[in-house]
Amino acid sequence: MATVPFNVAHSASVPSVSPSEVGKPLHRIHNVRLRQGVSLRSAARSSGTDIRQLRLQEQESTDLRITDLKKWQKALGVPLQELLVESDDPLSRPVMERARMVKLMKTATAIKERTESQGIERLAQMLADQLVEIMPELKEVSPWHNFGQRRSLEEYGAIVDRQISEDTLYDSCRWD
């Protein structure tokens, strides 16, 4: 009996994974759990998840949802970044394209707001409208900030509130 090689073509809905990415660690939950001395049973109790599910999630190559990572963070009592593995890979193409579109929209709205020419204002508005057509979420993008932009009194108040803590205020009022 003869055998024929069989290649399965991936559909657009199934993400293809390159051979170099198959065993690539995405997180280090298992190592952190062991280091923290937390058992799977107590992690399951704290996260409200079945032990079998947690065992699967603990595998380094398992791609987890953010909600699952948050549950692990709470169960292990560590910062979220402690669970993640840093990637040297560049940002994905869709993320890079979105960043470029946001920059374009910021530029178009800045030109529209700052120009004194009605013709240029119309062109900037047309560009902004076309960008929103392509990516509706850009509608809420604000223009680039001016360098040396004047602040309102409310902004100054917010800045002062952030910079002065109770301890700082107490220390400045003490008479030693």
Q: What range defines the domain where residue 103 resides?
A: 93-140
Any bridge partners for residue 27, and if so which? 84
Is the domain of 42 the same as that of 66?
A: yes
Instruction: Note the pTM of the prediction, 2 decimals.
Output: 0.44
Alpha carbon distance 140, 176 (integer Å): 52
Structure confidence by residue, pLDDT tens digits, 53-94: 999 999 988 889 999 999 999 888 888 888 888 766 676 788
User: Which CATH number goes with the domain that contains 46?
Assistant: 1.10.260.40
Alpha carbon distance 161, 66 (integer Å): 32
Taking alpha carbons only, the member of 35, 34, 95, 85 closest to residue 63 is 85
pLDDT in the model for residue 140: 87
Q: Binning pLDDT at 50, 70 and 90, where does residue 1 land?
A: very low
| 163 within a domain of the structure (yes/no) | no
| 145 within a domain of the structure (yes/no) | no
| 151 within a domain of the structure (yes/no) | no
Is the domain of 97 the same as that of 61?
A: no
